[in-house]
Amino acid sequence: MLGVRGEAPGFPLPPRLGHGLAPLQAGLERLYRDCDFAARLATDPVRFPRRYTDPLDQELAGFLAGGFAFGRVDLFGPVLERLCDHMDVAGGPRAFVEGFEAQDLTSFQYRWIKGPALNALFANLRQVLDERGSLGAIAEEAFDGSLASSIEALAEAIDVPGAGRGVHTFASRPSKGSACKRWCMVVRWMVRPDTEGIDLGIWDLPASALVVPLDTHVARIGRLIGLTTRSTNGWRTAQDMTASLAACDADDPVRYDFALAHLGIAGLCVGEKHPVLCPACSLRSVCTVQ
């Protein structure tokens, strides 16, 4: 599955990899091989779209799970659980959105995403489905070889002018410099095949064009192993890190993302030398703290 070293479509040249490519490939492959995907799924928001089998249920649950996936998972997870249960009473996310009428959604509020924003979001989703059929259709139609084009089109469709921060939170854009972590995560879930029991493979976009979802764990560990030398966490850094990963697997650069993120989420990397964690780490041979 290792790709030929090369530049992935739409990405800049890979950054400097001081330890060389072969050790990085070997370390990432070890990390991927050793990851207990089934156990990690229980703490990952992709478990919400994976509750469903209908593709439209999956993409709507995925969009909501990705949109709420900021802050602490023990805080947004229960909100999503209740929201999915609520939608299931109506027959699932698709039936809920297709028949959506304004209602009291205060019990699904999370941080600054309040009931009125959720009402505006669901009302707009209903219109989007009515006019475009699915979020996947929007992403596929807009794709021009770069994932940015699909994300921009999704954000344009989702945003409701004047609706405020509660809705805009769901509509981050590469053109604003955002790493668009949550969009990149949702699109990864929808595009990558279900090879590890994680992703869903229901949108027709090339996996080679995916961009790594740059969460705090991936950003920190990525810097430790030389995936980027950039210090900010915006879209260009996400592209830069993806280019390094593409040098290891050009066809599927974000294949390593889940294992990288969960190294941090599970507390198996604390970002500095650790007497117990580091000797057991798959990435120790390419980590700069060693």
Residues contributing to the site for ligand SF4 (CB under 6 A)? 221, 224, 269, 274, 277-278, 281, 283-284, 287, 289-290
Write the DSSP string, 149-206: HHHHHHHHHH--TT--HHHHTT---GGGT---HHHHHHHHHHHS-SSSSS----S-S-
Q: Which is nearer to ligand SF4, 185 or 281 (CB)?
A: 281
Q: Which is nearer to ligand SF4, 209 or 221 (CB)?
A: 221
What is the closest distance, in whole angstroms, from the C-beta atom of residue 289 to ligand SF4 in the complex? Answer: 5
What is the biggest distance separating any 2 CA atoms in the chain, rounded to whole angstroms? 57
In terms of phi and psi (left: phi > 0; alpha: psi -120 to 50; beta: otherwise), the region of 91 is left
Q: Which is nearer to ligand SF4, 33 or 161 (CB)?
A: 33
What is the closest distance, in whole angstroms, from the C-beta atom of residue 29 to ligand SF4 in the complex? Answer: 15
What is the closest distance, in whole angstroms, from the C-beta atom of residue 287 to ligand SF4 in the complex? Answer: 3
Residue 110 three-state SS: strand
What is the closest distance, in whole angstroms, from the C-beta atom of residue 177 to ligand SF4 in the complex? Answer: 27
Q: Which is nearer to ligand SF4, 132 or 274 (CB)?
A: 274
Residue 91 three-state SS: coil
Q: Which is nearer to ligand SF4, 142 or 277 (CB)?
A: 277
19 vs 207: CA distance, rounded Å: 26
What is the closest distance, in whole angstroms, from the C-beta atom of residue 213 to ligand SF4 in the complex? Answer: 18
User: Are 73 and 108 in contact, with CB atoms under 8 Å apart?
Assistant: no
